[in-house]
A and B are shown apart, each in its own frame.
Chain A
Amino acid sequence: MSLIPYLIAYAGIAVFVVAVIARIRMYARMPMHLRWELYPVPHEASRAAHGGSYLEEVDWWLKPREVSKAAELKAMGTEILFLEALHKHNRPMWRSSFPFHFGLYLVIATTLLMLGGGVLTAVAGGFGASSFGSVWYGAVVVLGAVGMALSIYGALGLLRRRLSSSDLADFTTGADIFNLAFFVVAFGCALVTFALFDRDFALVSGFVRNLVTFRLEPVAGGTAGIMVGVSVSLLAVLVAYIPLTHMSHFVGKYFAYHSVRWGDEPNLKGGPQEAGIMANLMQKVTWAAPHIKSDGQKNWVEVATMDYKTYGGGEKK
């Protein structure tokens, strides 16, 4: 095993971090949009059960607003962990998508445990040999193996649906097939490595430990070393690839829910939204249809308040 898997792993992590930050930045820096919420909104507390909002309250702007962050967190938790919306509205797809995603979560948890184990070993040399360390690495083995198996099972199920369902065929691109196949190959390779060469995850844990401590030494020789190197390289490329595709929906979904579907923060006089509103209204309008009458020069305030007589409307009173 050479340096290459380490370099690929560092590069994969770097690309992932940069791409995710870039995507978050892209959405976060977009101008404040119009309110466009969709009920039920879970943080509406006692009203959420029937899909209600504070707009059900007479003179709502004069009253304290009841917001339940706990209900919002609960809704987020069940959606992230169990894909509740898919379970409710598309059960056949959930049967594959849930194991696929849940397997990924387990693999992420495994990676975090290995990273944590690496740090603890670096700090306290005997961590791996301690009884707590045994439990820790036992969890790594169980979560890692189960996670990869679940993800492969889910990815194969999704692939089968993509290839056989007439509902999906028309909308499936080469990339959709490639993405799922990539998961199957990367996790499959890692699972084979685990089953044949690394039953206790010692080699891959050692690789992660080396990654954390920048000791870029081989963790094994021969076929085992090659398989570990290929597995981690494939996984690192996958990690880099995900945020460059629509699979970065973990970022998009955050904004879709918090900024759009659940974005019901009222704009009260003198409130924080006013600056954003004024900035938006000062933007230039370049739409070209005749009724806009902007000539590419006017801003939104000018276009919306222009003398209606000028553009063919009625006389302003």
Chain B
Amino acid sequence: MNKNVSIRDFPRGDGPLTELNVRDQDPLPFPYDKLDEEPGIKPLSDSAKEKYVNLDNTIAVNIPKPKTKAEEERLVTGFLSGLQKLFSASDNWTFLQPLVISMEHCARCQTCSESCHIYAESGRNPLYRPTYRSEIFRRFYFKYVKGGQTWARGDMELNWETVARLIELAYRCNLCRRCGQTCPIGVDNGMIAREIRKLASQELGIRPRELHEDGSMLQQKVGSSTGMSSIVVKDNMDFVDEDMSDKTGLTVKTPWDVEGADVLVMHNAGEILAWPENPGAFGVLLEAAGVSWTMSSDLAAYDSINYGAFYDDVQLARTLLLHIQAAKKLKVKKILIAECGHAHKVLTVIADRILAGELNIPRESWLPFFADLVKQGRFKFDKSRNDFPVTLHDPCNITRLMGISQPQRDIMRAVVPEERFREMTPHGVNNYCCGGGSGFAIIGGHNFSDWRFRGPGRRKFRQILNAFQGEKMDKEHPKYVCAPCSNCKGQIRDLIKYYDAWEKAGIGYGGLVELMVNALPAAKPGFIDWEWH
């Protein structure tokens, strides 16, 4: 398999161009320091290879290979039509200026490459450079939008293989924008990857099923991408309340549709099913602090997710409006976004250029809100209940893309003994993505999950292991990875499972509110029981 794949190879042949070769990777820290003992990547099945476009021996999007010349041409003409729309003010006012800047001014100096966890963990496979897909796309921009300039900007053959591969390659980026942070000029390759995804979705109707049919469409249809209707979610939250009351000895009852409440809490509904202790802990804490709060049972309002953020501006706007309309109906003072990173970014910064007038209802992260409650002394904590090593993952959407990194540390200082807290290196706005960002955490067809763990997620796992170096790496000495974001938490859960890290190194995980409730002396001890893994 070609490791040094050139951009000139991109339009050629119909097989995989390259693959993530585990033998090219740098070994992880102890106790995973033997490369050949790491779990591998399952091979792609023959039927998948036969049926779908195969870029690098894994598949995220499932683009069927065209069967006729007409299907091939439809891909190319659709791409060209979408390309024009991406550079039109009416169809893409949302990103026109940042996109044109990133098209026009890249010096192709590759400064961004070293900042990319996927490129670095791939053993520096050129396909995974942030600039690789951008450069191909840029050549199409100069050739077909600007009309020519191939001598100055480089040429690229446009055929159906190029279009299909480019769409698949747009799903080899976590959209964490760490590359953009290092670019001396301000070029944003993460944004370019998202624009390619948008073109594919909004013009060609191509995107991973997990994001669209099973994601944003399902949410807009039944209320949640989990499939929970409002009746089901209320039932489930009743169980969560009961369970929390038993577990903590404190009475919890989630209020629904309370008009005039101060705060409308929006959870990622995946938490309710996968980690019920998380919304449960929120309930415990909000009640303990005496906050006037409610949840909404309106369509989509009990699920803060907005997968449009990963692939489609129209879907983003539709879900956002459902969230806002629910808040408007209940006349709440503000929306409080719970532990979900992309919901943070959509509802705060992105929505800030979509909402106007009566729809511009204040939206706030739970982190400063709870940090303020802690500061006000609304909770009493016993830090000794969290007497185990803790490290903190910074979700990209909350830190690098919103600038919230101090409140979670203020809370951490209040609930974890200082000597037990270990920062990751790097952390805060310079953190690495968990590897599950931009929808990867829920895309799992074929062998894509293995690629996600062995590629993008491996840098986070490396950081976690480094943070706990010096500790006893066994199950008898539990260590806690705090990930205050649902997608990140899902990815870290899956990484721990993939590497068998609970059994092998005693590494567990959870959110931040769980650490808070675990440290409440008013609650029964042992809220974190290390049994969730």
Interface residues of A (CB under 8 A from B): 26-27, 30-41, 44, 47, 50-61, 79, 83, 85-86, 88-90, 93, 97, 166-168, 170-176, 245-246, 248-249, 252-253, 255-257, 259-261, 264, 266-269, 273-274, 276-278, 280-281, 283-292, 300, 303-305, 308, 312-317
* B97 touches A (CB below 8 Å): yes
Whole-angstrom distance between the Cβ of A286 and the nearest chain B Cβ: 6
Which of A36, A51, A304, A313 is B217 in contact with, Cβ under 8 Å? A313
**Are A278 and B217 touching (Cβ within 8 A)?**
no
Q: Tell me whether chain B's interface is mostly helix, strand or loop, or mixed.
A: helix
Whole-angstrom distance between the Cβ of A75 and the nearest chain B Cβ: 13
Which of B91, B154, B334, B352 is A267 in contact with, Cβ under 8 Å? B352
A273 surroundings in chain B (CB, below 8 A): 352-353, 356
Interface-centre pick from B81, B90, B403, B406 (highest chain A CB count, 10 A): B403
* B21 touches A (CB below 8 Å): no
**Are B403 and A278 touching (Cβ within 8 A)?**
no
**Are A93 and B111 touching (Cβ within 8 A)?**
yes
* B157 touches A (CB below 8 Å): no
Q: What are 17 residue pairs bridging A and B, where the CB atoms are less than 8 Å apart in the complex?
A: A36-B98, A40-B403, A40-B429, A52-B403, A52-B406, A58-B369, A59-B364, A83-B184, A90-B114, A171-B131, A174-B152, A267-B360, A283-B93, A287-B314, A291-B315, A314-B222, A317-B299
* B250 touches A (CB below 8 Å): no
> Which stretch in B63-71, B281-289, B394-402 binds the other chain?
B394-402
Closest to A40 in B: B429
Question: From residue 101 to 158 of chain B, which have CB atoms closer than 8 A to chain A?
Answer: 101-102, 104-111, 113-115, 126, 131, 135, 151-154
Question: From residue 312 to 334 of chain B, which have CB atoms closer than 8 A to chain A?
Answer: 314-315, 317-318, 320-321, 334
Take A168-B110, A252-B104, A255-B101 as given contacts and tell me if A286 and B90 are in contact as well, using a CB distance cutoff of 8 Å: yes
Give the distance in Å from the alpha carbon of A251 to the alpha carbon of B191 in the complex. 20
**Given A57-B368, A90-B114, A304-B318, 11 more pairs with CB closer than 8 A:** A27-B100, A30-B89, A55-B348, A170-B6, A256-B185, A259-B97, A260-B101, A260-B186, A285-B90, A314-B222, A316-B299
* B305 touches A (CB below 8 Å): no
Whole-angstrom distance between the Cβ of A90 and the nearest chain B Cβ: 4
* B201 touches A (CB below 8 Å): yes
* B405 touches A (CB below 8 Å): yes
Give the distance in Å from the alpha carbon of A218 to the alpha carbon of B61 in the complex. 68
Closest to A283 in B: B90
Whole-angstrom distance between the Cβ of A5 and the nearest chain B Cβ: 26
Which of A32, A168, A245 is B353 in contact with, Cβ under 8 Å? A32
Take A51-B399, A256-B186, A283-B89 as given contacts and tell me if A93 and B109 are in contact as well, using a CB distance cutoff of 8 Å: yes
Take A33-B353, A256-B185 as given contacts and tell me if A312 and B93 are in contact as well, using a CB distance cutoff of 8 Å: no
A50 surroundings in chain B (CB, below 8 A): 405-406, 428-429
Closest to B187 in A: A256
**Are A287 and B93 touching (Cβ within 8 A)?**
no
* B204 touches A (CB below 8 Å): yes
* B43 touches A (CB below 8 Å): no
Give the distance in Å from the alpha carbon of A167 to the alpha carbon of B6 in the complex. 10
A79 surroundings in chain B (CB, below 8 A): 184
**Are A85 and B184 touching (Cβ within 8 A)?**
yes
Interface-centre pick from B7, B101, B221 (highest chain A CB count, 10 A): B101
Closest to A173 in B: B154
Give the distance in Å from the alpha carbon of A280 to the alpha carbon of B522 in the complex. 52
Which of B8, B85, B185, B360 is A269 in contact with, Cβ under 8 Å? B360
**Are B185 and A252 touching (Cβ within 8 A)?**
yes
Give the distance in Å from the alpha carbon of A35 to the alpha carbon of B348 in the complex. 9
A308 surroundings in chain B (CB, below 8 A): 220-221, 299, 318
A284 surroundings in chain B (CB, below 8 A): 90-91
Give the distance in Å from the alpha carbon of A34 to the alpha carbon of B362 in the complex. 17
**Are A260 and B403 touching (Cβ within 8 A)?**
no
B177 surroundings in chain A (CB, below 8 A): 38
Whole-angstrom distance between the Cβ of B277 and the nearest chain A Cβ: 25
**Are A27 and B101 touching (Cβ within 8 A)?**
yes
A47 surroundings in chain B (CB, below 8 A): 403, 406
A176 surroundings in chain B (CB, below 8 A): 108
* B377 touches A (CB below 8 Å): no
Whole-angstrom distance between the Cβ of B133 and the nearest chain A Cβ: 12
B111 surroundings in chain A (CB, below 8 A): 85-86, 89-90, 93
* B28 touches A (CB below 8 Å): no
Take A40-B403, A289-B202, A300-B317 as given contacts and tell me if A85 and B126 are in contact as well, using a CB distance cutoff of 8 Å: no
**Are B94 and A34 touching (Cβ within 8 A)?**
yes
Give the distance in Å from the alpha carbon of A268 to the alpha carbon of B361 in the complex. 9
B403 surroundings in chain A (CB, below 8 A): 37, 39-41, 44, 47, 51-56, 264
